[in-house]
């Protein structure tokens, strides 16, 4: 049982029936799951939710589309912690405690991709789908392979050949048939799309099926509950395909309609790298769609997405919230990662570090205030990425010069 009423084309509003397998709409745009929010308002309560013993984001099962509990695929999800930045606030120009990091690296497979792929795989199980395929810059493929394996499904994963090596090995080790492609994620996506008829796999690419958004929606639900149902002033989100930003904005809208939150909504900030910033350019140009970004490159592999099928949904959420889009350079991303790790004991992934750099730039530019409560999204554990070389050596057979310590 769930509260789903139908699915809806995000561009045209055309309605599609629930309970059937769907990809994109006839207009070639993402489908959004719609719920009977009046019934949810009547039957659900914050107090009942507070007593839930379900693991991690499955505590929000009533807000999600999986109808049968036995179809929920789980790898031991947790509610991820919110960690205030204290020692490193000076790197940002911030007041200690006003900048919070939502650390998604604590989820299964070490990234926030677990949320979306868990829900997508669970719905695939509900529909009896047996073979899933995905293009990935790393973390989404790892999550899909892990959850598909848990559900007894076959998975095929295509990665750009320069995807971080640990991600590629992780995907293969967790059961995904893994292939490296001499191109970018959109090139991998083209191969997956063209193979649907020939192979019979189901394309689970970002926003090309309706349920990864619902999984990422749990980020907004979880954040609201953790903050006592008072949303922050601003959210900085590392934006590639943008599923999480779209999902959070959808969560906040549903909560508001149910009367669970009130007051102003947070400014949603789409953070990209200067080497791949199609959403930033579209936002700055006043456009709703972002053309293909040529020669995309950035050390933050997770946000190296040259073109996004849900571009207009990202830009709409940014504009509706009074937020903005911002691009930051690779050298500052890596310097910020190292600074926060040394000062806080918190190892951000490059994409997460990009949000900290974006906060610093936005504060300096007057786009936000130092009194604003800001949440930075760290989308994965920093352990999945190359780290600086350790050069210190001691020779046990030589006299130790203790003055060096």
DSSP-assigned letters across all residues of 370-405: TTS-EEEEE-BBGGGS--PPP-----TTS---GGG-
Q: SS3 for 235?
A: strand
Rounded to the nearest angstrom, the gap between the alpha carbon of residue 158 and the centroid of all alpha carbons in its chain is: 19
Is residue 76 in some structural domain?
Answer: no
For residue 227, give every residue at least 6 positions away whose Cβ sits within 8 Å of its Cβ, in sequence order, or none: 82
DSSP lists the bridge partners of residue 375 as 100, 235
Q: Is residue 324 within a helix (H) or strand (E), and if so which, with residue range?
A: strand 324-328
Is residue 334 in some structural domain?
Answer: yes
Q: What is the CATH number of the domain that holds 333?
A: 3.40.50.1100
Is residue 291 in some structural domain?
Answer: yes
How far is CA 112 from each of CA 14, 100, 179, 380, 400, rounded to the nearest angstrom?
Answer: 30, 17, 22, 6, 45
Cβ atoms of 5 and 36 within 8 Å: the answer is yes
Q: Is residue 340 within a helix (H) or strand (E), and if so which, with residue range?
A: helix 330-344
Its pTM stands at 0.93
Is residue 254 in some structural domain?
Answer: yes
| Cα(300)–Cα(354) distance, integer angstroms | 8
Is residue 374 in some structural domain?
Answer: yes
| Cα(188)–Cα(140) distance, integer angstroms | 13
Question: Which of 20, 5, 30, 33 minimizes the C-alpha distance to 250?
Answer: 33
Instruction: Output the pLDDT for position 399.
Output: 94
Largest CA distance in the chain: 77
Is residue 144 in some structural domain?
Answer: no
Radius of gyration for the alpha carbons in the chain, expressed in angstroms and rounded: 21
Mean pLDDT of all residues in 319-333: 97
Q: Is the pLDDT of residue 1 over 80?
A: no
Which tokens is 62 given?
């009533």
Instruction: Output the pLDDT for position 285.
Output: 95
Tens digit of each residue's pLDDT (9 = 90 or more) over 83-128: 999 999 888 989 888 999 999 999 999 999 999 999 999 999 999 9
From the CB of residue 108, how many other CB atoms can be counted at a distance below 10 Å? Answer: 21
Domain interval for residue 281: 82-108+210-384
Number of domains in the chain: 1
Packed helices 113-127 and 211-226: angle between N→C axes, nearest 10 degrees? 130
Mean pLDDT of all residues in 134-157: 95
Is residue 140 in some structural domain?
Answer: no
Question: Which of 294, 348, 293 minimizes the C-alpha distance to 325?
Answer: 293
Instruction: Output the pLDDT for position 263.
Output: 85
Residue-by-residue DSSP string for 77-144: --PPPEEE--TTHHHHTPPTTSEEEEEGGGSGGGBTHHHHHHHHHHHHHHHT--EEEEE-SSHHHHHH
Instruction: Output the pLDDT for position 55.
Output: 87
Per DSSP, 313 falls in state H
Cβ atoms of 215 and 252 within 8 Å: the answer is no
Mean pLDDT of all residues in 359-377: 96
Is residue 389 in some structural domain?
Answer: no
Mean pLDDT of all residues in 34-49: 96
Mean pLDDT of all residues in 247-262: 97
């Amino acid at each position: 049982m769930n509260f789903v009423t139908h699915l809806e084309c995000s561009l045209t509003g055309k309605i599609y029936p629930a309970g059937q397998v769907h990809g994109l709409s006839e207009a070639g745009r993402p489908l959004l799951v719609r719920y009977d929010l009046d019934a949810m308002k009547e039957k659900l309560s914050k107090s009942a939710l507070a007593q839930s013993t379900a693991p991690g984001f499955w505590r929000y099962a009533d807000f999600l589309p999986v109808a049968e509990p036995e179809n929920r695929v789980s790898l031991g999800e947790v509610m991820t912690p919110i960690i205030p930045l204290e020692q490193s606030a000076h790197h940002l120009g911030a007041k200690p405690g006003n900048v919070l990091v939502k650390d998604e690296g604590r989820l299964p497979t070490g990234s926030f991709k677990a949320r979306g792929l868990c829900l997508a795989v669970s719905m695939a199980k509900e529909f009896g789908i047996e073979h899933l395929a995905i293009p990935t810059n790393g973390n989404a493929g790892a999550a899909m392979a892990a959850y598909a394996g848990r559900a007894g499904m076959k998975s095929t994963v295509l990665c750009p050949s320069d995807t971080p090596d640990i991600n590629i090995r992780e995907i293969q080790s967790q059961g995904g048939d893994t292939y490296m492609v001499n191109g970018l994620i959109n090139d991998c996506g083209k191969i997956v799309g063209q193979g649907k008829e020939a192979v019979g796999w189901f394309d689970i690419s970002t926003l090309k099926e309706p349920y990864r958004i619902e999984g990422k929606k749990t980020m907004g639900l979880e954040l609201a509950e953790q903050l006592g149902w008072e949303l922050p002033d601003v959210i900085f989100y590392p934006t590639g395909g943008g599923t999480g930003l779209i999902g959070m904005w959808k969560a906040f809208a549903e909560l508001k309609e149910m009367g669970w939150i009130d007051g102003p909504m947070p400014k949603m900030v789409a953070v990209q790298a200067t080497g791949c910033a199609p959403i930033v350019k579209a936002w700055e140009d006043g456009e709703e769609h972002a053309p293909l970004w040529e020669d995309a490159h950035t050390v933050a592999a997770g946000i190296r997405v040259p073109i996004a099928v849900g571009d207009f949904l990202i830009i709409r959420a940014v504009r509706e919230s009074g937020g903005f889009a911002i691009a930051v350079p690779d050298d500052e991303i890596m310097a910020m990662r190292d600074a926060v790790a040394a000062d806080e004991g918190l190892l951000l992934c490059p994409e997460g570090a990009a949000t900290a750099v974006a906060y610093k730039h936005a504060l300096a530019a007057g786009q936000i205030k130092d009194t604003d409560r800001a949440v930075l999204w760290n989308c994965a554990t920093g352990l999945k990425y190359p780290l600086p070389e350790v050069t210190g050596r001691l020779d046990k057979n030589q006299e130790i010069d203790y003055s060096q310590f």
